[in-house]
Amino acid sequence: MKVEHLGGCQCGALRYRIDAPLTDIAHCHCSICRRSSGGILTTWVTVPRQAFHWLRGTPKAFASSASCTRYFCGDCGAHLTLFTSLSPDTLDVTVATLDEPEQAAADRHIWVGSRLPWLRVDPHLPEENQEIIP
């Protein structure tokens, strides 16, 4: 399995590298992700924090809740990462910003209690009403 993964924002001001396999991938249906991204859901890959490296640029930060800080490009607005103090050893990265997002298929749905009632994506995947943090 590939261990190095590259990604970045739309305008190229921010670039990053992940030095870990992409194994914990979830479609998030929470309303905060919808409002932060402007999308109907956000697909995240959770990686060890020490495996994530900014290669170019410095992201802007926004505290979207008491436990979560989201990082985005101050130029193009792309939403790239999320840190939660509930899981301090990991970082969530938006799959859509990977150079090869096809390498990161989701393995579950999280926060399905907030899912838009008309949305049907990957109905075969397991669902969690909230995210279960190990």
Residue type, position 109, single letter: H
pTM of the predicted structure, to 2 decimals: 0.91
Q: Could you tell me which residues are beta bridge partners of residue 63?
A: 69
**Rounded Cα–Cα distance for residues 94 and 13 (Å):** 16
In a domain, 126, yes or no: no
Domain that holds residue 58: 5-112
For the chain, 134 residues long, give each residue's pLDDT as a single digit of tens.
Answer: 568 999 999 999 999 999 999 999 999 998 888 988 889 999 999 999 999 999 999 999 999 889 999 999 999 999 999 999 999 999 999 999 999 999 999 999 999 999 999 999 998 998 988 776 65
Look at the chain and report how many structural domains it folds into.
1
Residue 9, domain member (yes or no) = yes
Q: Return the CATH number at 32.
A: 2.170.150.70
65, part of any domain: yes
Residue 118 falls within a domain, yes or no?
A: no
Distance in angstroms (rounded) separating the CA atoms of residues 51 and 71:
16
